[in-house]
Structure 1
Amino acid sequence: MLALGFVLLSLVARIHAISSLPCTSTSEGFPIVQDGQAIPILVSVEDWEGVHIAVESFASDIERVTGIKPEVVTQNATSATATRAVIIGTLGKSALLDGLETSEIEGEWEAFTTGVVSSPIPGVEEAYILAGSDKRGTIYALYEHSEQFGVSPWYWWADVPTPHKDELYVSTTGCSHGPPTVQYRGIFLNDEQPALQNWAMEKFTNGSGSAATGSPFNHLFYVNVFELLLRLKGNYLWPAMWSSAFAVDDSENQRLADIYGIAMGTSHQEPMSRASPPEWNIYGTGPWNYTSNSEAIYDYWVDGVERAKTYETVYTLGMRGAGDLPLDESTNIALLERVISDQREILTKSYGNTSISTIPQIWALYKEVEGYYEDGLRVPDDVTLLWADDNWGNIRRFPLEAERNRSGGAGVYYHFDYVGDPRNYKWITTVELPKVHDQMSLAIERNATRLWIVNVGDLKPYEREIEWFLSYGYDSSAWNADNLDTYVTRWAQRDFGLEETDAALVSSIVANLTRFNARRTPELLTAQTYSLVYYREAESVAQAWDALVEAAEGVNDKLADDFKPAFYQLVLHPVLASANLGKMLISAGTNALRASQARLSTNNLADDVLEKFDYDYELETRYHSLLDGKWNHIMDQTHLGYYYWQQPMMNTMPTITRVQGKKQALSGAMRLVVENNPGAWPGDNPNQCAQGYSCPPPSITIDAFDVFGNKYVDVGAGGPKAFTFNVSTNASWLTVEPAGGSVSADSPESRVFLSVDWDQLEAGSTSAVATFKSLDEDQHSLSVGVTVVASNTKPSVPADFTGFVESGGVVSFEAAHAARNTSVDEITWKELPGAGRTHSGVTPWPRGDANFTVGTGPSLEYDFFSVNDGVNATAHVYVSPSLNGLGRDQPLGLGIQLDASVNTTYFMPVSAPGTLPSVWTQFVANASVEIKVPFGAIEAGEHTFKLWMVEPAVVVQKVVIDLGGLKPSYLGPPESKYQYGV
C-alpha cells in the first residue's frame, strides 16, 4: 500500500535538495542506476502529454547525474518484461496504476505518492511507483526526485552544475505530498524592458520579434519558464505584458503552456485573457471606455475567452484604464458591476454547460480598485478576491473574518520588482525573506490561499526569492520565521556543493546583502542617506559592505570553476555590485563634505567615485560575458542617476567636486576634523559654530559608556605640502594613538584615536587638551588644541543594575533585546530574525485578529539607566511599514510606556479607500516608520520602557530614547552598552 504522509529528513553534510521529503536514499534503497545500468521507465501512452515531457526531462536528469540515460518505454498495455522498473502515472490516465492502493491521493489537487511495489503489473517483479493525483501531481513527483538526485531547478536559468554520482537509489518506503497550501502559485514577468526583453531578443529570435508586437517572448523562451515553474512547484503565470501579447506573439504559447501544465492568467489590468493594451491597440476599435464603447470591448473579450477556453485559464475580471491607469473619474460602481456581470455572461455562454463557479476567476483589488470594493462593489462569491500589496511588499488588506469563507477564496498579488512611486526598484535583489514571510504568513493565517502571484520583473536576479515564495506557497508548514536561514543554507549546499559551514556563511552573506539593500533600495540611495558625521554611520555601512565582499569572494575562491558562474549570478555579482554602488555614494557624499573642510583628500574621493562608476560597468560586462555571453543584456537595467521615479536613460555618475590640489589652503598645511563635527580647523568653516567665523577651538566629549570606547580626530592635508605632526596631552588619563605621523599628497589623511583611562578619574566631568602640532616641509608650524571632556558616569550607575546605559544623551536598543516578555492569552512577542534594518523585529505571536487595550495585552520590558537628571525624554520607536491590513476599523496600534506614563499610538494613518496614507512614500523609502512620543522630564536613575500589544501584525525593529543628545542619522544610534549587574 502506498501511504500519503510526511517524514522529516535530517540535515546532512551535503544536500542536493531543499525539500525534506525522504524520496531518495544513499545506497541501500531501490536502485535506479546501479553497476552502470539504469532500469527502464514505464509510462502509459494515455497519460498527459505534459507528463510525457516531464518523464523525458526526468530521464535526462538521471543522465545529467550519472551519465547514463534510462530507457523510456511508452506503454500501451499493462504488462512489461523488465524485472525492475520505474512506473510513472497519473490517476485516471494510466492503466499501469490499476490495482494499486492510491486512495489517499484520489481527488486531491496536485498530490503524489511513491513507493516500491512487488508485481505491480505482469512481467515486472518489483517497481518504484510515482503516482500523481493529477497531471501536476505526477510532474511534481518527478521533479522532486530530480532535485534530490542532484539536479537544481536552476540548472539552466542560473547554470548550477549537477554533481556526478555513479549510482542512484530511492527510498523503499517512498515519499508523498498532499495538496499544496496555496492552490495557484505563480510569477509575473513584468517591467521587462530593457533587460529581459533585450536578452530574449538576442537568444530566441532572429532579431525581429513578433510580427504583431515586436516581442521576443515566443515559445522557445516560454518553455524554459514553464519547466522552471514546474521544477519549483509553481503552476501559474502572468506573462510579459508591456509591448507583448502572449497568445498573439506566438500561436504555440498558449497550447504549450497547457500541455506543460501551467495555468495561464493575465495581469491585474488585463481582463478576460487578453493582453491589453497591446492587443487592444491591434484589434480593438474606439476608446478603451466601457461607457461609450461597450459593444466593441465586449466582443473583444468574447474573442479572448473563445481563444483561451480550451486551455487551463484563470480569468481576470474587472477593468482599469488604458495603460494600467485608474478608470475615468466618471466611472462609478454601477458601471463596474455591469462590466463584471457582462464578463461573467461571456464566460457562461462560452463554456456552455460548465458551471461558472468552476471556472477560476480573480478580481484584483489593486490600487483604486480596492477602494471600489470598500465602497460597496461586490462580485459573486465564487470569484477570488486578489488582495494586493502596496508595490513595496506591504499587503494593503487581508480578508476579514466575514470574508474568509467565500467559495472563491482570496489571494495575494505581491511585488519583488516595481516601476512607479516613489522610485523604481528593478535592478538587483532588495527582497528580505523575513519580510516576505511576515506578510505571506499573515495571508495564510487569514485564508488568502487560493492564488499567489508575485511580480518578479526580469526573473533574474530574484532566483532565490522566487523559489522561496513558491516553496512557501506549496508547503507553508516547511518554513517559519526561525528557519529561513536554514532554507538559504540548504539552497547554498544544493546549488554550490558547499559543506554546511560554508553554506551557513553564504546564508549570512545573503541575509546581509538583502538587509543592506532593503534599508533603502539602491535606486533611492543618495550621497547623503547615511550620516557622514554622526555615529560613524556611513563608515560602518561601508565597512560592512567590505566585509560582505571579502566573505563572498572568499567563498568564491573555494569553489570549483564549474560552480563559479552560478555563484557569480546568485551571490557574488549582487554583493559586488551593491557594495560598489553603496560605497560610491558614500564616497561622493564624503567628497562634498571634505571639500567644505578644505581637505586635499577631497580629490582622492573624487577619483574613488570615478573608479567605482567604471567598476559598476565592469561588473555588468563580466556578468554579460559569462558562459560565452549566455546572459548578455540581462543586467542592462540602469540604476544610477535617478531624477524622478522612472529609470534614467543612462547611468549617471554621482556629482563630485575637487579642490585645487596644487595650491595650499589659506589656513595652512594641516586640517583638523574632530568626530561628530562637520567643521574643520584652523581657519573659518561654516560648520564650526553658528557664526561661521572666529569660532572656538574644537572640543570632543567621551563618556564611560560610549559604544565605540573612543573618539577620533582626523589629521588631513590642506594642500600639496607634506608635513609631520605630533600629539601631546596635559593629562595622564588621556591616551592618544598614534601620537604622531606624517601626511602628504600621496597619503593625505591620518586618523588619531583618543581614549580615557577611567580608573584615574573620579565621577563627573574632567577636561584636558590634546595639542596637535604640525611642521611642513618649509618649516612652517601649526598648532591646534582639542579640548577633551571625559564624562565619567560609571560611579553613578549602581553595580547591581542590569540594562542599557545612556551615552551621549541617548539610549538605543534593538526591540528583540527585552529584559522581560509577558504573554497574555497564549499570545507573546516573538522575534523575527533578520527582519528590519539593523538586527531583527518583534511581533505578537501567534498571528490572529485579537487586540487589546493598552496595558492589558502582551508586553516587552526594557530596563535603562539615565545618567542626567531632569532631561526631557522622547521615545523614537521604529516599526516596519506594514499597512492597516485588518481594515479601516482596526488600524495598526502599539502601546508605548515609559515608567508610569502610557501612550497608545495608531501610527499608520487611515486613508481613503483605495489610497495610501500621505506619509506612505516616506515610510517605504526609509523601510521603517518612526513613532515619536515625548514623555517630558525624567530623573537620573533606573527606568523601565514598555511596548504593549494593541493590534496584531505590528513589527517593531528598534527603540531610541532621546535624552537630549540624539543626532541626525538614517539608522539611528548603535545599540547602547548593556551592563550586567553583579
Structure 2
Amino acid sequence: MVRLLLLAGLYALLNEALAIGQETCVAFKASNSRFPVVTKNQAAPVLVSPDDWPGVQRAASDFVTDIQQVTGAKVSLINATTTTNPGKQAPIIVGTLGKSSLIDAIVNSTGLDVSNIQGRWEAFLSREVQNPLPGISSAYVIIGADKRGTIYALYEHSEQFGVSPWYWWADVPTTRHSELFVDSIGCSHGSPTVKYRGIFLNDEQPALQNWAAEKFTNGTGAPNTGSPFNSQFYTKMFELILRLKGNYLWPAIWSSAFAFDDPQSQFLADMYGIVMASSHQEPMMRSTPVEFSIEYPNVAWDYVANNDTIKKYWLEGVQRAKNFESVYTMGMRGFGDLPLSEETNIDLLHQVIQDQTDILHQVFGQDFDVSTIPQIWALYKEVEGYYEDGLQVPDYVTLLWSDDNWGNIRRYPVESERNRTGGAGVYYHLDYVGDPRDYKWIATSQIEKIYEQMSIAIEREATRLWIINVGDMKPYEREIEFLLGYGWNATRWSPENVNDFVSAWAQREFDVDEKTAVQVSDIVANLTRFNARRKPELLTATTYSLTDYREAENIFAAWEDLEKSSTTVYNSLDEDFKPSFYQLVHYPVLASSNLGKLYILAGQNNLRASQARLSTNVLADTAVELFEHDFDLETDYHQLLDGKWDHMMQQTRIGYYYWQQPMADSMPPVTRVQAKKQALAGAMRIVPEGTQGAWPGDNPHQCADGFNCPPPSVSLDNFSPISNRYVDVGAGGPAPFTFTASSNATWVKLSTTKGSISSKAPEQRVYISVADWSQLQDGMNTAQIRFTAKASGQPDLSVSVFLNALKNNVASGFKGFVEGTGVVSIEAAHATRNNARDDVAWKELPGYGRTLSGVTPWPRTDQVFEVGSGPSLEYDFYNFNTKGGNLTTTVFVSPSLNALGNDHPLRIGVQLDSQDAQTTQFIPDAEPGQLPSAWNGIDGFVANSIVSVAGLWTNVEPGAHTLKIWMVEPTVVVQKIVIDAGGLRSSYLGPPESLQV
C-alpha cells in the first residue's frame, strides 16, 4: 500500500497522462484550464514554419501521426506563415526560437516570456497563448530553445498522449484515447543535466548484425564491408534516441563504417538532430580499423612509421564531418580496441593530440577557435594510465572516464579536475566482451546500481557526456531508457523513488493498473538482481551451494516463483500487449530462469551420482529438457510478430569455458547411474542436510577416512533462521521399498513417519524439527531418528541419524540479532543505530545488491573521516560460541572503485565493542590504468559482484556485543555482514539473516 501511495506522484491518475521523465501536462478530460488537442473527433491543426529546422519539421510529422494513432482523428500538418488561416479549430503552433518565423512573430507580438529557455541547450516550453497571430484567437504554442529542444517537446507530448518511445523497437501498442487535452500552462524543461546523452552499438555480432542483414539489406550489405547498418536502419535508431531524450550515437563498429557504408547516414543523422561521434578507440570521425584497412591495406597502424598516412586519413574524416554536428574522439589506440605497442609513450601521444588539433585548424580555419568543437579523450583502460602518469590534453577536451566494463566507474573527477572547460563524462557498459567473461545476451544490470554509480557522476560533475555501451541494444531497452532519461533530468530520481521508474515504465508500456505495474516492477527487480549476482555466462553447476543453507534449492524456487509471477501478468494482458511484454519482461524471465535452473540441476545431478541415488537420472533427464527448452524459448522470440526479431536472441550463453563466447551452446555435464543395478550398500540411500555424504556405505564426505564412518548427524538450535533440518530418503537402485522413520525422543517432530520409494518416485524428503523447545533442557539435547527400509527379498536396512538440538538463552533485556547455528548474519540496512556526523549518515539503497539492499554514506561528499569520527552503523548481536575466544567478521561490500582519486583508496572502519577499529582498504592498489589482480578471474570481485572485507577479533566472550561500521571514504556500499562464531558454512550468498529478539 505504501508503495502505491509513493507512485501517486509519478503515475497517471484518473484523467491525467503518465509522464516518466517530468511532470504531466496532458489529460484526457476537458476543463476550463485545458487546451483541446482532439475533442469530439476534431483535431487541432499543427502549424510549423517552413524556415524551421528540417529535423523539427520531420518530428512534427511524427507528432501528427502520433495524435492520429492515439485518437483516430485526422490531424492537419500545415507549413504556415504569419498570415496562414488554420480554420476554426484553435491550432498547435510548433517551432524553434530564433529559427521559426512563426514563433518569433508570436513572441514579438504577445510579449511571451521565453527568458527561461532563451539561449539554453535543448530547453523548451509550451503553453496556451491568446491572440498569438492575426486571425488566431488562441493556440497551444510549443517552443524549443534550439532544434532538439523543439523535438523533445514534441516527443514528450507524444509520450504523454500514449505513444511509447519503443512503439517500433519493442512493439508497444499505442494507448488509445478518444480525446486529448493539454494544460494551458503546458510542459517545460530546462537544459538537461547531461549535455550529450548517447548509446554505443557494440559487440553487434551475431544478433544485431544478422537481424539487420535480414531486415534492411536482404543479406547483401554495403560494398567493401558487407555491413547491414545502412541509413534505413539508422533512421529508426535516430528517432528512438530522440524519443528517449538522447542526442548522441557511437555507431556499430565491427565490420562496419558508418559514414563509409552509406553516405546518407551522416547527413540524415544531422538532419534528424543526432550528434554523431566515433567510439573511444576510433579517432577523428573515422571507423577504425575498418576504414583504414580498406583504404590503406598494406600500411601498419603505426604513428611513428606512418604518421603522414594516418594524418591524411584523419584529415579526410574531419573534412567529411565538418558540416555535421559531431563530437571528435582524440588520441589513439591500437586496432581491435587494444593498447598501442609497448613503445607507446606520453611524448608520442602528446604529438598525436597536437597533430589532431592542427588537423581541426586545417579544416575549420587557422583562426577558428577549435575549443568550441566538442572533443573527448576516452580514459579507457591503459589510456587512464597515461593520464595518471602525466599525459595532458587541452583544457577544453572532455575527459571521458570509464567504468570497469562491469558497471563500476573506475574514477570520477576530483575537485581539481572539475573546473576544466571541457568538463568530464562517463563511458558506461550494459554489455561487454572480455575478461573474465563476455556478457551480452540478456539484461543483467540493476537500475538501482546504475543509479548509484551515475548519481555519483552527477555529483562529481561528470555531466558533459554520457555514452552507454548497449551491445545489440535490444535486450537492454529498459536500462537504456533509464540512463538516457536520468541524464536528461537527474532531479527526477532519488534513492527513495528510483524503484518506481520501472512501475511507471510498466504502466506506460503495458497499459496496466498501478497494482499490476508494481508487480511488474518486482518481477524486473528480481530478474536483474538474480542475473546481477553472477552473470549467466559465469554460472556453473556449483555456483550456489548444493548442501548448505538450502541455497541452490532456494535459488531454484525463486526462479520458479518469478516465472509464475511473470506468466500471471502475461496471461492477464490484452493480446496486443503480449508481444511487447514477452520481449521486455517475459522472455528474459523465462530464459534466465531456465538457464539458472539448468545449472542447479546439473550440480544436483553430479552430487547425487556420487551418493549412488537413483534420482540422479531424473535430474539428468530434466536438465536435458531445460537445455533443449532454451532453444525453444529463443525460437519463440524469433517467431514473434512473423519473425520481426529473428536472430535477436542468437547470442550463445551456455557452456563458456574461457572469456570469449562459445561457438555453440553446450550443456553443462550431467551423468547417470545404472538404473538396472542395485547400489552396493543396498536399496535405501540416506542423505542428511548439509553433507555430500550418503549412508550406508562409503563416501569420502562422510568422515576423514571415507570408510567405516559413524552414523550421520544434523544440528539445530532454537535461534536458527532455518527452523528444521531434512533427510532425503532415496532409492539406491531398481528395488522398490517402503520405509519408516521413528525417534527415541518425544520432542522430535517428523514431517512424515513412512513412505514408499520406487523408480517412479525415487526419493522423499523428511523434515526434522523440535516440537516444543520448552520441553528441552538448556544446552545440548540429542535424539536418534531411525530410518528402516523393507524391500522384497532383502533383509531390512536401517540407518540412524542423530539430531543435536542446542537450546540457548539470551540475557534478559537484550534486543538485537542472535547467533543461530554458529553464525550471525545481518542485512546491512537493518542497523540497530545509524549515527550521523556533519549531516552525513548511512542511507539505504532499496533493492540494490545481491540479497536485500545496500547502504552508503549520504549525501555524497568529498569529506574523508578518521575512523571513529565519521558516520557509523551499529549492530547489536548476541553470540553463544567463539572459536577459542575468536570471532571472524565479514563485511560484504560492492565492488566499487576510487571516487576521490588513487590517493584515496576506498576504506571502511570495522570495530567490535571497544576493541581497536580495523581500517581496511578493501580494493588493492593497482598500476595506473590497470585493475587490481583480484578484480578479474572467474571468482574475482566482478564475477562474484561482491568484495569480502574480513576481520579477526580475539578475546571475545559469549554474550551481547556491538559491531560498528565507520565511514572513512565516501561512496562505499555495504550489503551484508556475517559474523562467524564457529558454524559458518561455504555458500555464494552467505547464510540467511539471523533472528532478532
TM-score normalised according to structure 2 size: 0.96
> What SS does the corresponding residue of 1:380 show, helix, strand or coil?
coil
2:509 maps to: 495
Q: Note if 1:334 corresponds to 2:356.
A: no
Q: 2:146 aligns with which of 134, 152, 163?
A: 134
CA contact (8 A) 2:11 2:504 kept: no
Pairwise CA distance, 1:77: 4.1
Tell me, in whole angstroms, the C-alpha distance in 2 between the residues paired with 1:60 and 1:827: 50
Q: Distance in 2 between matches of 1:292 and 1:593?
A: 60
Question: Which of the residues 409, 419, 424 maps onto 1:395?
Answer: 409
Quote how far apart the aligned CAs of 1:848 are: 1.5
8 Å Cα contact 1:199-1:634 kept in structure 2:
yes
How far did residue 354 of structure 1 move? 3.2
Q: Distance in 2 between matches of 1:206 and 1:782?
A: 69
Moved more, 697-706 or 228-237: 697-706
Which residue is equivalent to 1:913?
928
**Which residue does 1:271 correspond to in 2?**
283
Q: Which residue of 2 aligns with 1:643?
A: 657
Q: Deviations over 1:154-181 (max 9, x none)?
A: 1000000112111111111111000000
5 Å-filtered alignment, 1:582-661, equals 582-661=596-675
Which residue in 2 is equivalent to 1:237? 249
Instruction: Return 570-579 or 478-487, whichever deviates more.
Output: 478-487
Q: CA deviation at 1:93?
A: 1.1
* Residue of structure 2 in register with 1:19 after alignment: 21
Distance (whole Å) between structure 1 residues aligned to residue 626 and residue 972 of structure 2: 39
* C-alpha separation in 2, matches of 1:319 and 1:267: 11
Work out which of the residue numbers 816, 829, 835 in structure 2 matches 1:816.
829
CA contact (8 A) 2:36 2:181 kept: yes
2:129 alignment partner in structure 1: 117
Larger mean CA deviation between 564-573 and 98-107 belongs to: 98-107
Q: Separation in 1 of the partners of 2:106 and 2:624?
A: 72
Using the TM superposition, give the Cα deviation of residue 124 of structure 1 relative to its aligned residue in structure 2, in angstroms. Answer: 1.4
CA contact (8 A) 1:109 1:137 kept: yes
Report the alpha carbon displacement of residue 779 of structure 1 after superposing the two structures with TM: 4.9
In structure 1, the partner of 2:317 is 304
Q: How much has 1:885 moved relative to structure 2?
A: 2.7
Alignment partner, residue 564 of structure 1:
578
Q: Distance in 1 between matches of 2:573 and 2:591?
A: 20
C-alpha displacement of 1:622: 0.2
Offset at residue 481 of structure 1 (A): 1.6
Output the CA distance in 1 between the equivalents of 2:73 and 2:618. Answer: 59
- What residue number does 1:803 align with? 816
Q: Secondary structure at the match of 1:589?
A: helix
CA contact (8 A) 2:10 2:504 kept: no
In structure 2, how many angstroms separate the alpha carbons of the residues matched to 1:11 and 1:121?
34
Three-state SS of the structure 2 residue aligned to 1:272 is helix
Post-superposition Cα deviations, 1:794-845, rounded to whole Å, max 9, x if no partner, equal: xx20242111111111110000000000000000000011111011000000
Q: In structure 2, what is the equivalent of residue 938 of structure 1? A: 956
State the distance in 2 between where 1:442 and 1:665 align: 60
Instruction: Determine whether 1:175 maps to 2:176.
Output: no
Tell me how far apart the structure 1 counterparts of residues 262 and 12 of structure 2 sit (CA, whole Å).
Answer: 45
Is the contact between residue 10 and residue 19 of structure 2 (CA under 8 Å) also seen in structure 1?
Answer: no
Kindly indicate whether residue 231 of structure 2 is the aligned counterpart of residue 212 of structure 1: no
Q: Give the AA of the match of 1:677.
A: T
User: 1:361: how far off?
Assistant: 0.2
Question: Would the aligned equivalents of 1:600 and 1:716 in 2 still touch at CA under 8 Å?
Answer: yes
Alpha-carbon shift at residue 8 of structure 1 (Å): 6.8
Q: Paired residue for 1:841?
A: 854
1:256 corresponds to which letter in structure 2? L
What percent identity do the matched residue pairs reach? 60
Q: Does the 8 Å CA contact 2:848/2:854 hold for their aligned counterparts?
A: yes
Report what 2:874 is aligned to.
Answer: 861
Q: Deviations over 1:613-656 (max 9, x none)?
A: 00000000000000000000000000001110000000001101
- 1:72-91 alignment runs, 5 A limit: 72-83=77-88, 84-91=90-97
Q: Which amino acid aligns with 2:284?
A: M
What amino acid sits opposite 1:774 in the alignment? A
| Aligned match of 2:989 | 971
CA shift digits 1:58-94 (9 cap, x unpaired): 1110111011231000124444243310000001111
Determine if the alignment matches structure 1 residue 832 to structure 2 residue 845: yes
- Matched AA of 1:130: I
Distance 2:280 2:578 in 1: 38
Instruction: Tell me if the contact between 1:16 and 1:151 (Cα under 8 Å) persists in the aligned partners.
Output: no
* Number of residues of Structure 1 aligned to a counterpart in Structure 2: 971
* Cα separation, 2, equivalents of 1:197 and 1:254: 19
User: Within 2, Cα distance between the matches of 1:799 and 1:727?
Assistant: 38
Distance between the aligned counterparts of 2:13 and 2:661, measured in 1? 45
Q: Which consecutive residues of structure 1, in runs of 5 or more, have no partner in the other structure?
A: 1-6
For 2:817 and 2:762, how far apart are their aligned partners in 1?
39
Q: Does the C-alpha gap of structure 1 residues 78 and 333 become closer, same or farther in structure 2, counting only changes over 3 Å?
A: farther
The superposition leaves residues 492-524 of structure 1 with CA deviations (integer Å, 9 ceiling, x where unpaired) of: 000011110110011011001000000000000
Match of 1:61 in 2: 66
Residue of structure 1 in register with 2:5 after alignment: none
Q: Determine which of 709, 716, 740 is the counterpart of 1:702.
A: 716
Structure 2 match to 1:778 = 793
Pairwise CA distance, 1:19: 2.9
Is residue 2:108 matched to residue 1:94? no
Q: Using a 3 Å threshold, how does the CA distance of structure 1 residues 838 and 8 change in structure 2: closer, same or farther?
A: closer
Query: Structure 1 residue 752 and structure 2 residue 754: aligned?
Result: no
Structure 2 residue identity aligned to 1:860: L
Deviations 1:859-897 (A, max 9, x none): 000000011255420111100000123211111010001
What letter corresponds to residue 584 of structure 1 in structure 2?
A: L
1:287 aligns with 2:300: yes
C-alpha distance in 2, partners of 1:835/1:909?
24
> Shift of the alpha carbon at 1:706?
1.1
2:400 to 386, 403, 408: 386
Match of 1:149 in 2: 161
Kindly state the Cα deviation for residue 686 of structure 1 after the two structures are TM-superposed.
Answer: 1.1
- Code of the residue aligned with 1:913 in structure 2: it is P
1:374 Cα deviation from its structure 2 partner: 0.5
Show CA shifts across 1:187-235 (max 9, x none): 0000000000000000000211001200000011001100000000000
| Residue 15 of structure 1: how far off its partner (Å) | 5.4
| TM-superposed deviation, 1:10 | 6.0
Work out which of the residue numbers 20, 32, 35 in structure 1 matches 2:37. 32
Whole-Å separation in 2 of the counterparts to 1:590 and 1:841: 31
What is the identity, as a one-letter code, of the residue corresponding to 2:77? V
How far apart are the structure 2 equivalents of 1:8 and 1:357? 42
Whichever residue aligns with residue 689 of structure 1, its letter is C
Does structure 2 retain, via aligned residues, the 8 Å contact 1:831–1:842? Answer: yes
Residue 759 of structure 1 deviates from its aligned partner by: 1.3
- The equivalent residue for 2:942 is 924
Given that 2:18 and 2:24 are in contact with CA atoms closer than 8 Å, whether structure 1 keeps it comes out as no
Asked if the contact 2:678–2:732 (Cα under 8 Å) also holds between the matched residues in 1, the reply is: yes
- Asked if structure 2 preserves the Cα contact closer than 8 Å seen for 1:17 and 1:150, the reply is no
- What is aligned with 1:667? 681
Q: Which residue of 2 aligns with 1:190?
A: 202
Aligned to 2:445: 431
1:580 corresponds, among 591, 594, 598, to 594
Distance 1:272 1:78, change over 3 A: farther
The SS at the match of 2:318 is helix
Aligned to 2:3: none
Structure 2: runs of 5 or more not aligned = 1-7
1-structure distance, mates of 2:885, 2:759:
46
| Alignment partners' CA distance in 2, 1:799 and 1:750 | 41
Q: CA deviation at 1:305?
A: 0.1
Distance in 2 (alpha carbons) for counterparts of 1:297 and 1:278: 14
- Paired residue for 2:918? 903
Q: Give the aligned residue type for 1:769.
A: Q
Cα 1:311–1:567, aligned 2, differ >3 Å: closer, same or farther? same
Q: Aligned partners of 1:622 and 1:530: how far apart in 2?
A: 29
Structure 2 partner of 1:962: 980
Matched, 1:872 2:886: yes
Residues 518-527 or 871-880, more deviating: 871-880
CA distance, structure 2, for counterparts of residue 761 and residue 49 of structure 1: 84
